[in-house]
């Protein structure tokens, strides 16, 4: 199972880690292929190289060692690395379980974590409709009603956009939509989920699957 935590992070000498850290979007595909050829597993590369590297980039951005161009280059390298590994992780689409609508909330364009959540849920057989990033509450709820979604999953990475999650919860109640709302993303917490009336919170992509399983079992 993809754990998506940085518990067993590789040492900084790891070429995949370095490729994200240095924003090497040109060569990351080849570097990931080399890691696979050496016998590393796709999920292990994501957990112990890609995620720790992008988190380190975030720290450098915060302390102003890195600026926006480096942040963008690293994000692109990360995305290319994940795109290279995705076909090796995705499960068959047959025997799909319930529908989950995913989106990054309005005003927020961070989608790497949300894409990992989509990948995990698909791996576990859920039908995932990913609406993308910077998506309005109205659009999310309209899609959930149209598709009969059991779950709406929201991601937000910024303190300035997390309140847009409450807009979605409010819109769900207003429209009498039956979907349950779960939230995640680095800035969010269980207490924030409780505060805005969301049905669940998860801190990483793996526990998002457990949470969805649990919410649907208890319906
Ligand atoms: Co931006 N950014 N960024 N950024 N960026 C952060 C979030 C920031 C913390 C960096 C910092 O200052 N240290 C900061 C936000 C500060 C704050 O509000 N607290 C920030 C900022 C300020 C900005 C800009 C405003 C910069 C600027 O323009 N001056 C701008 C925002 C534009 C906008 O959104 N309107 C911006 C832009 C960008 C890039 C485009 C360059 C790029 C994003 C590319 C992309 O996503 N396609 C980017 C990146 C890469 C980051 C950091 C470095 C890394 C984010 C990431 O992908 N992490 C980030 C610093 C950080 O978080 N360490 C930062 C890896 C990812 C796997 O983790 O998304 O948390 P995460 O997802 C996890 C869990 O949280 C969870 O599962 C995932 C996997 O385990 N999870 C869920 C996520 N969603 C979930 C949903 C669920 C369940 C679990 O249920 C539905």
Question: Domain boundaries in the chain?
Answer: 15-93, 99-217
Q: What's the CATH code, domain 15-93? A: 1.10.1240.10
Show the CA angle centred on residue 83, arms to residues 27 and 144, nearest 5°: 155
Is the pLDDT assigned to residue 152 strictly greater than 70?
A: yes
pLDDT for 47: 86
pLDDT for 89: 82
Nearest residue (CA) to ligand 1, atom 75: 185
Q: Name the CA dihedral angle for 161, 165, 171, 173, rounded to a multiple of 10 degrees.
A: -160
pLDDT for 1: 43
The pLDDT confidence band at residue 13, using thresholds 50, 70 and 90, is: confident
Give the chain's largest Cα–Cα span.
53
Question: pTM surpassing 0.85?
Answer: yes
Site to substitute for ligand 1 among 157, 181, 208, most atoms within 8 A of C-beta: 157
Site residues for ligand 1, CB cut-off 6 Å: 4, 51, 54-55, 57-58, 61-62, 68, 71-72, 75, 79, 107-114, 116-117, 153-155, 157-160, 182-187, 202, 204-205, 208
Ligand 1 centre and the CA of 110: distance in Å?
A: 5
Tens-digit pLDDT profile for residues 85-116 = 988 986 655 567 899 999 999 999 999 999 99
Regarding the domain delimited by 99-217, which CATH topology (the fold level of the hierarchy) does it fall under? Rossmann fold (3.40.50)
pLDDT for 125: 86
The pLDDT confidence band at residue 163, using thresholds 50, 70 and 90, is: very high
> What percentage of the chain has pLDDT greater than the value 90?
78
pLDDT for 7: 46
Ligand 1 centre and the CA of 217: distance in Å?
A: 31
Tens-digit pLDDT profile for residues 15-58 = 999 999 999 999 999 999 999 999 999 989 988 999 899 989 99
pLDDT for 34: 97
Ligand 1 centre and the CA of 157: distance in Å?
A: 5
């Amino acid at each position: 199972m993809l754990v998506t935590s940085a518990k067993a992070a590789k040492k900084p000498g790891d070429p995949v880690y370095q490729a994200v850290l240095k924003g090497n979007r040109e060569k990351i595909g080849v570097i990931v292929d080399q890691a696979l050829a050496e016998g590393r597993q796709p999920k292990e590369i994501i957990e112990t190289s890609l995620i720790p590297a992008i988190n380190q980039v975030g720290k450098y951005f915060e302390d102003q060692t890195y600026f926006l161009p480096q942040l963008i280059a690293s994000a692109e390298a990360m995305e290319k690395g994940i795109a290279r590994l995705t076909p090796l992780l995705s499960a068959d689409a047959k025997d799909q379980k319930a529908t989950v609508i995913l989106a990054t909330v309005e005003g927020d364009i961070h989608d790497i974590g949300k894409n990992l959540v989509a990948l995990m849920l698909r791996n576990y057989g859920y039908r995932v409709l990913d609406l993308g990033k910077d998506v309005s509450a109205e659009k999310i709820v309209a899609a959930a009603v149209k598709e009969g979604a059991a779950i709406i999953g929201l991601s937000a990475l910024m303190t300035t956009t997390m309140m847009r999650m409450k807009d979605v919860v409010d819109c769900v109640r207003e429209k009498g939509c039956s979907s349950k709302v779960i939230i995640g993303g680095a800035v969010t917490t269980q207490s924030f989920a409780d505060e805005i009336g969301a049905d669940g919170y998860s801190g990483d992509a793996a526990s998002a699957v457990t949470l969805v399983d649990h919410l649907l079992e208890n319906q």
